[in-house]
Amino acid sequence: MEPQVTFLPGNRTLKVRSGTNLLQAARKARIHIPTRCGGNAGCLMCKVEVRSTDGTPAGLTPPGEAERRKLGPLLEQGIRLACQAKVVGPATVSLPENPLKAAIRKQLEAQNEEDSLW
């Protein structure tokens, strides 16, 4: 049986072949995860937060040497590199908010707070 991966936000779920990395799975689901290094753990742009779907450890291969070296303590927080983490069981992947969208959202929230004062 093929493992199932759910991408958040959006709650997009798909089945992938065991051994598929999260970057490939995201592309299959038509989800954009930025990368510059072509999946070589060089740019650190493809960081994602990974959780299991049933409370057990996420269904991914353990971090390799390159991923451990690059992420260090972030691994303990569930952060993985999508280009390196391979799916072997069910997992839920949270994508970080686009930095430009985050800046716009913060500006709009501040503007709404100012408007509510009037």
Please state the CATH superfamily assignment of the domain spanning residues 4-116 in this structure: Beta-grasp domain (3.10.20.30)
The count of other CB atoms within 10 Å of the CB of residue 89 is 17
Q: What is the pLDDT of residues 87-99, one digit of tens each?
A: 999 999 999 877 7
Q: Structure pTM?
A: 0.78
53 pLDDT above the threshold of 70: no
Q: CA nearest 82: which of 95, 72, 99, 73?
A: 95
Q: What is the pLDDT of residue 86?
A: 95
In whole angstroms, give the CA distance from residue 7 to residue 26. Answer: 8
Helix/strand/coil for 97? coil
Q: What is the pLDDT of residue 118?
A: 65
Q: What is the pLDDT of residues 21-48, one digit of tens each?
A: 999 999 999 999 988 988 888 889 999 9
Q: What is the pLDDT of residue 55?
A: 55
60 burial type by CB count under 10 A (0-12 exposed, 13-18 middle, 19+ buried)? buried
Helix/strand/coil for 75? helix
